[in-house]
Amino acid sequence: MRRTALLASAALLVGLLPLAAAGTVAAADDPAPVPVDRFEGEVPFANPPAEGVFTWGGDADDPPALALTARSDAPEGGKVLSGDYDISGYGGFTHDFAFDQPAHDWSAHKGIRFWWDGQNNAKKVSFEIKDGGANGEASELWTTSFTDDFTGWKQIEIPFTDFVYRTDYQPVGGIDQVLGLTQMWGYAVTLPVGVKGRFAMDDVELYGKGDQSLRASVSADSAVHPVKEGGTATVKLSVATTGSAPIDEPVTVAYESAGGTAESGKDYTPVKGEITFPAGTASGTSRTIRVSTLKDKSAEAAETIPLKLTVTGAKAPTETPQVVIDAHGLPYLDPKLPVRKRVADLVSRMSLEEKAGQMTQAERGAIGAGGDIASYDLGSLLSGGGSTPTPNTPAAWAKMIDGYQLRAQATRFQIPLIYGVDAVHGHNNLTGATIMPHNIGIGATRDPGLAEKAGAVTAAEVRATGIPWDFAPCLCVTRDERWGRSYESFGEDPALVKSMETVIQGLQGARDGKDLKDDDKVLATAKHFVGDGGTEYGSSTTGSYTIDQGVTKVTRQQLEAVHLAPYQTAVDRGIGSVMPSYSSLDILGDGQGPVKMHARADMINGVLKGRMGFDGFVISDWNAIDQLPGDYASHVRTSVNAGVDMMMVPYSYKDFRTTLIDEANAGRVSAKRIDDAVSRILTQKFKLGLFEKPYADTSGASRIGSPAHRAVAREAAAESQVLLKNSAGVLPLKKSQKVYVAGSNADDLGNQTGGWTITWQGSSGKITDGTTILDGMKRAGGDVTYSKDASAPTSGYDVGVVVVGETPYAEGVGDVGNGNDLELTAADKAAVDKVCAAMKCAVLIVSGRPQLIGDRLGDIDALVASWLPGTEGDGVADVLYGKRPFTGQLPVTWPKSEAQLPINVGDTAYDPQFPYGWGLTTLTKVPEGGSATLRALALVAAGADRTGADALGRAAVSKARLLVQQKVSPALTPATSKPFADADHLLLTGHYAEAVSKLTEAYRAA
């Protein structure tokens, strides 16, 4: 029997159940209990998203073994749910209701109960229910527990009022943090850890009548009501019921202004009274309380007036609403003063506790309704990957963040929050946003102007949702494509990375920060300082990661030339924040060995802030200080003293703030260091204009995902396409051709956008709005037939296009060796083989890094590195059909085998499948004249070197590259590949004559 059918036909089943369980007395007007699980076989064992009971655990040994067991002593029916467990991490089981049916309404009942076969082990058993959201895997979790301190069967009754919201973990998309009970998706049991045991459970059911205090609630329109001194605050109280039915009993609210930092009679006129909502009052009805404040002539910090409420007949608000008289007359509030003076004035007034709060960043999912923002003087919040409001819309983002900013108004100095997100290729957490190619594709464009435009679109869409801070760009120099973050890099050459840092101006605007206050600019973050792209394979100690968060072993010269160089450029461009890397740095010969970057004062204080002159602030990575050696106090003082100004401590923000205060009071972190950190943070908040305009300016929201923004992403997708091979001019396609399209990534928006899209890891399928490559080909006017697995007949076609590659991943989860490799899947290989055997074919590889294709290269006529092009598949179609030319160049070396890795431009031994900088073009006729033309171009390049004529020098090298590429392309060898790659590096560093010389060397070696 389906679970929904079981619940729907509860009346028929009541006769099977005892009217009152042993040991309980049902009230006369209580409804009959409604069964949820009888464990007689009506609910299958399954996996989500299928309906049924399923197990889970921290590792392979932790999920319990479940069975439906016949027992003569079963409290109900003939069977019970039983199981054995031996859990080292965590484990338990869940019953999720059917995803394709409506959620269940439990609001008429007092609570949930079940029979438990006690083992008397004195262990706590956690019991959770799932409320709201789209389904059981995207719902709020509400939890309570009972203690197994008895023997034999006992009925456990849990009123719904006992459940509390889980803030330590929530699936994607927080809901409203209100236990509504009208959209219930199931329950879960977490079994005890550290004890080998067994359990039995029976007859889960809803019991009792939900009284009005459970179904009705009184709420304030806001927990915080700021008002200018002398003004009148309006506090609106509303009564609401589950299901929106009128209240059936009167609700009274007694109110009184009491406590707080404002002085009654001096700062405000006290209020006291009672409001009554009579029986029959419609749900949603409101009443208003007004609090008048009094004006004086003194400059003051903000003062609070709590409004104490006593509610009868309904649930009271979870928090006491308070009126806040705004701070006024203090120098830091004067926008005419220089930022430096405003910062100095504010810091001089702050307590140590307030300063520690400014240095603390929490995750939105950890702070519940937001009361902790004022309680702990928090300076910052973030959304981790996939941490979004519900619904995931621009308006919901702005409303959520405005609500958090309002909380900050209840602090003494009303210092606004700075809210941050990982918008690493567009506003990628937001459904419907414009998603750009990942950085690896932007690096392939070799177009600094386009990188800046992409940054500008990202900034505009992020700021329009109320977010002023972006944890981007990643300035990593990727040196090993086994790294799961390879696609976050612009490329393997620091010169290429530096050239793409125009994105910083796209995000921030002017180098002096004067544009940061604008409604289309955000504070940018250079990450991950320093050497994250150079970690050694096998050096990671993070879980099953193989290379991410590992150790970068370099000489001092390699560190400076490869990994540090992009950060000096970022500082020169005015970058506002920098994020250290999880990884460790081992500078050969310095005697320190590997040291975690969050502990390297020599690099953060010494190099970044000292030598480079960085004047922004340093934000830690997610829980990164937990990876430092020693106890937690050591983690805190080591990282702060190393120069980290703000700590991203998503769920441990209270512990961090308390520990920092203790370390400062003990003298282990100096007052000077704390003042420096807070001054740096406040400087950026002032530059962003947050003190004057803390709330979202949504005037640009209509441009989110707009045609103009998508046109930029489409251009970037087109320019990122790298044509690696093109025998007999297979590309571009002609609209008159009949085209057979196949492959796993031809029609999958999630795969072509990659990780860090809507969720942290990304996912396959239509996860947001956009155009797949197949859609783009159809819209381009092509005569296209699609067969994903190439199972459709292949006869009668002029050409095939097979789009293959990777599925999404992020960070170390995507490391090669951590369940990943650089090979195409068996299905993709089969599609390539079948199509390319039947007709001329072009293969597009949609991936975050090169894929090993050499064994099939001879059978492929045209090969394209498509990278992760984002939401605009039209851009890929533009180059396939010749609307735009192929102009992209490899930002990383394309290896022949995994055994070659790491392989990079400049290596002594260099024999790749395709060299760094490679990229055939359909832009123009290739220059003719061979050696004579190369000699002429060498003269032009030498002249450009002497006169500083960069445009002329670049043009000369580009012509030489096209000429050489045509000759060497049939059979690349080490003798041609190495000088060819070196030439592209020389071009990027402005050595034009040397670049032409290297290209000439490659030409002669062919």
Catalytic residue ranges: 621, 811
- Contact between 413 and 302 under an 8 Å Cβ cutoff? The reply is yes
Buried b vs exposed e over 715-747: b needs ≥16 C-beta within 10 Å? bbbbbbbbbbbbeeebbbbeeeeebbbbbbbbb
Helix ranges (DSSP H) in 500-625? 503-508, 556-558, 565-572, 601
Q: How does DSSP classify residue 759?
A: B
- 286: how many CB neighbours lie within 10 A of its CB? 13
Q: Which residues contact 17 (CB under 8 A, 6 or more apart)?
A: 32, 33, 35, 76, 203, 205
Q: Which residues contact 807 (CB under 8 A, 6 or more apart)?
A: 744, 751, 764
For 273, the 3-state DSSP assignment is: strand
Return the residue matching tokens 């390049």: 941
Q: How far apart are CA 695 and CA 416, in angstroms?
A: 9
- Contact between 350 and 357 under an 8 Å Cβ cutoff? The reply is no
Q: How far apart are CA 914 and CA 973, in angstroms?
A: 9
- Contact between 729 and 886 under an 8 Å Cβ cutoff? The reply is no
Residues paired with residue 293 on neighbouring β-strands, in sequence order: 268
Q: How far apart are CA 601 and CA 608, in angstroms?
A: 10
- What φ, ψ does residue 863 adopt, rounded to 5°? -130, 130
Q: How far apart are CA 612 and CA 635, in angstroms?
A: 26
Distances (CA, A) of 858 to 723, 742, 897: 16, 19, 16
**Encoded tokens for 740:** 């057979």
For 854, the 3-state DSSP assignment is: helix
Q: How does DSSP classify residue 63?
A: S
Q: How far apart are CA 361 and CA 274, in angstroms?
A: 40
Q: Which residues contact 874 (CB under 8 A, 6 or more apart)?
A: 714, 717, 771, 775, 776, 779, 780
- What φ, ψ does residue 961 adopt, rounded to 5°? -60, -45
Return the residue matching tokens 């040994």: 61
DSSP string, 342-387: HHHHHHHH--HHHHHHHTEEEEGGGSTTTHHHHHTT--EEEE-TT-
> For the chain, how far is it from start to end, CA to CA, in angstroms?
73
Q: How does DSSP classify residue 101?
A: S
Q: Which residues contact 855 (CB under 8 A, 6 or more apart)?
A: none
Q: How far apart are CA 194 and CA 86, in angstroms?
A: 7
Q: What angle (nearest 5°) sits at the alpha carbon of residue 952, between those of residues 950 and 956?
A: 115
